[in-house]
Amino acid sequence: MNTFPIPAFRCFLPAAACLLTLARLDATPPTDNPVAGHYGPQAYAWTDEIHWGNVFDVTDFGAVPDDGENDQSAIESAIDAAHAAGGGVVYFPPGVYHLSDDLALRTGVVLRGAAPPPPESPPTHERGDGTPLEAPAQLDDFLPPSRLQFPAYEFDPFLPDGNPNDTAFKVITVEDEITTSNWGLVHLDLDHARIRNFEDVWPSGPFELADRSTVFDPAHNARNIVIFGIRGNNMVAPDPRVPSGSQHGWQRFPARGSSHIALMAYENVLVANNRLNDNITEDFEMPGYLLSDGSTPNKPADRDITFRYTNVYGININRVYANPSPSPTSLTPDTFPEVFRKGIAARDNWIYSTARVAYHITGQDAVILDNVKVDDPDKFSAVMPTGTSQTVGSDTNENRGVDFSGFNVTVSGNDLDVHSHLVYLAGSTINGSVDGEAILNQAHTTAIVRGAYIENNYVKGYIGIYKTGDSEDIVVRRNRIRPGSFTRQNIYQNIYVVADMNVSGNTYLRNVLIEDNWLNEIDDLTVYGTGGVVNVIVRNHDAGTLLRYTEGVELENNAFSVLQPKTQEYPYNPRPTVVLSGLSDRSVVGEDARVAIVAEVAHAEPVKRVDFWSNGVKLGESTEAPFELVLDDLATGDRHNVYAKAIAAGPGGEDGRWNWSMHSIAFDVAESGIVPPLQIPGAVLEIEADGTRRVSLPTREGFRYHLWRSTDLEYWGTAPVVSLDGDGTVRTLADDSVPPQAGEPLFYRVGIEPL
């Protein structure tokens, strides 16, 4: 039998069920879970681990909206108080709050403003099927009434070295990128501050993040991040390499590797319903801009080089590059697990973006849903993205709507407007930049594709899955591509799925369906893969002049005037398939449990063994069917994310093709005896007119529920207020004691014990 209350660090319920907080009775800030209110309680149940009801009003700590004075100290005091209380919401009533420096959040702390009024403007963006996108942030009059104002950069070419970078370019970040979890921002208007939880700008270059793997160590807590309902403008970092060489000291250039929102986590990131760059006010032209060698860049007449706040990445979640680049078949869940994290979602966002990638997303089962990208069709490029040298013919500003990787990624319902730069080269020649993908998966971090579902998108730009190794289970369906979407160097492609570029050996393309897309009449479609099997291209409308495809691709009801088949270069060698069973995904088990995970393998040839991996560590192997992994030496607090790799026998008995499960099984280990029922939603705290406080929560037979009350988070007394046994229904724990005085804090905690 356990002693209750369960200490906060021992509680394995969602946080809203472990700790319920009643804020000061004379205050009226929101205490609901805004994600659950918008998407439903089950969509992102992990957000219940945030203490939404534990509210700390910044005005109670000395912040005064709209007075023009610095509120930095008051806001930081509110953050410290929320953290000391075990987590909570730092609330900003409507108004403008001024900050002078970076702001660091701590574990359990969410910054939240007042909810914006419902927008009334009509929708202007749509999905591939023509249905409108109507998320609040995608409507033109979306405006959260609580604003955080950071310093603006004052460009001054009359200062020999310009204004120092540290006078502006601020960030909302975290206290510790390795451990800070359960944090976020909700319903705030941000000006001149990016959001990030890791350092994404280095002098050595952008996105060289292979050494950042500690962020993904399951022994740490970098998880559960919510960025919801944010409006952001003038969010950028300057490149530390500019000025360099013979450049003027006042020159500045956006850091190509920086992002408006840059996040890494072990699991669970939701970036949703945000609007970025709808009112950029701080772009500045730089007459007399010099390259690092002292020369003047070729550029349009009467057009100066401009520092653009939109020439960086937009929303960047768990996107890492290996350095140096590995071979296309080496990036797997066991060798590079940071690419295959669960619970990653970007949806219902709006971004005005003029370079790099609007949505840069990586994850296992990641979701990129119903987002908007807006672009500038008249943009030009006269210097490399580093800001130090003249553009060249192979220059790329990326110019992508969505760049994704991971397995089983869904890209659906997005409206993506992508334009290439007009590039001004040395010798006064002009070219189009080498980029322009509306949706892309290529050989950066996951060169092997296992599941990509690209459906119902409306795009200007092209859809490409290329430079990949073995690729399978790809669906490109019901997308609508705007006319004139891709014109670089007179090459026209609408859809480009190629599995035999930049690799050698037997790569294959399998289970590819390209169906019912609306293409452009002058544009082409390419599907190449060595050993294509069960690949189908059917019912594509207004198809162009040329369809390139590999033998093994089945064609049906297409309108191409020219068909260009390609001979298979390698024989097809099917790989084993693996399905894991024996434990539910996202389970919680006791430390004395015996966990048995079974790999069900199908393959035409004998399978030599199945290796089981978790978080980059091999847990064991099995050489006979049923292929089973047994774990019985579990430690409290462990988190496993188990994959299976089946190794087939080659012609001489050596290891042949191998595979891992496309659906890994993740589970946590809790102290035996206090493992709660699975999938318990957050409890609800209600206050009756007579002062009675009622906590309602789903219960389960075999468990007893206790309600604890305190005015001090450090002391909970010796006995609960009330207890009851679960019966499988929603039950209520009522506290009808004398209500607290106005302004007195009151906290509740729910404890659970097995009977």
**Is there a single domain that holds both residue 337 and residue 359?**
yes
Q: Do 616 and 708 belong together in one domain?
A: no
pLDDT digits (tens, 9 = 90+) for 550-575: 766 778 777 777 788 877 665 555 67
Most confident of 213-222, 266-275, 592-601, 674-683: 266-275
| Residue where a domain stops, chosen among 616, 646, 670 | 670
Q: Looking at 324, 347, 372, which one is the last position of a domain?
A: 372
Is 153 contained in some domain?
yes
User: Is pLDDT at 293 greater than 60 in this prediction?
Assistant: yes
Q: Is residue 537 part of a domain?
A: no
CATH number at residue 589: 2.60.40.10
Give the mean pLDDT of the chain: 81
Q: Own/partner pairs for 533-541, CB < 8 Å, 24+ apart?
A: 533/508, 533/509, 533/572, 533/574, 534/510, 535/509, 535/510, 535/511, 536/512, 538/513, 538/514, 539/515, 540/514, 540/515, 540/516, 541/516, 541/517
Same domain, 8 and 109: no
Does any domain span residue 754?
Answer: yes
The answer as to whether 523 is a domain residue is: no
Q: Report the pLDDT value the prediction gives residue 183, as an integer from 0 to 100.
A: 97
Cα 477 to Cα 471: distance, rounded to the nearest angstrom: 17
For residues 79 and 146, state if they share a domain: yes
Shared domain for 338 and 365, answered yes or no, is yes
* pLDDT value for 683: 58
- Of residues 27 and 484, more confidence is placed in 484
Q: Are residues 616 and 747 in the same domain?
A: no
* Per-residue pLDDT tens digits for 429-446: 777 777 888 999 876 545
| 329 or 510, higher pLDDT | 510
Confidence of residue 292 (pLDDT cuts 50, 70, 90): very high
3-state SS of 23-67 is CCCCCCCCCCCHHHHHHCCCCCHHHHHCCCCCEEEHHHHCCCCCC
How many folded domains does the chain comprise?
A: 3
Residue 128, domain extent: 32-245+255-284+311-372
Residues 212 and 65 in one domain: yes
Q: Give the Cα-Cα-Cα angle 73, 75, 77 (nearest 5 degrees).
A: 70
Is the residue at 529 inside a domain? no
What is residue 210's predicted lDDT score, i.e. its pLDDT? 40
Q: Could you tell me if 25 and 89 lie in one domain?
A: no
694 and 630 inside one domain: no
189 within 8 A of 231, measured Cβ to Cβ? yes
My answer on whether 191 and 315 are in the same domain is yes
What SS3 state is found at 382? coil
pLDDT at 19: 36
Q: Are residues 25 and 36 in the same domain?
A: no
| Statement: residue 679 has pLDDT above 50 | no
Residues 43 and 151 in one domain: yes
Coil, strand or helix at 624: coil
Q: What's the pTM?
A: 0.81
pLDDT digit string (tens) for 239-249? 999 999 999 99
Is residue 497 situated within a structural domain? no
Tokens of 488: 């670089």
Residue 356 resides in a domain = yes
pLDDT at residue 218, rounded to an integer: 60
152, pLDDT greater than 60 = yes
Domain assignment of residue 703, yes or no: yes
Task: Write the pLDDT tens digit of every residue in 705-743.
Answer: 888 777 765 566 667 888 888 887 778 888 877 766 655
- Of 321, 354, 372, the residue that ends a domain is 372
pLDDT > 90? residue 229: yes
Residue 197 has pLDDT above 80, yes or no: yes
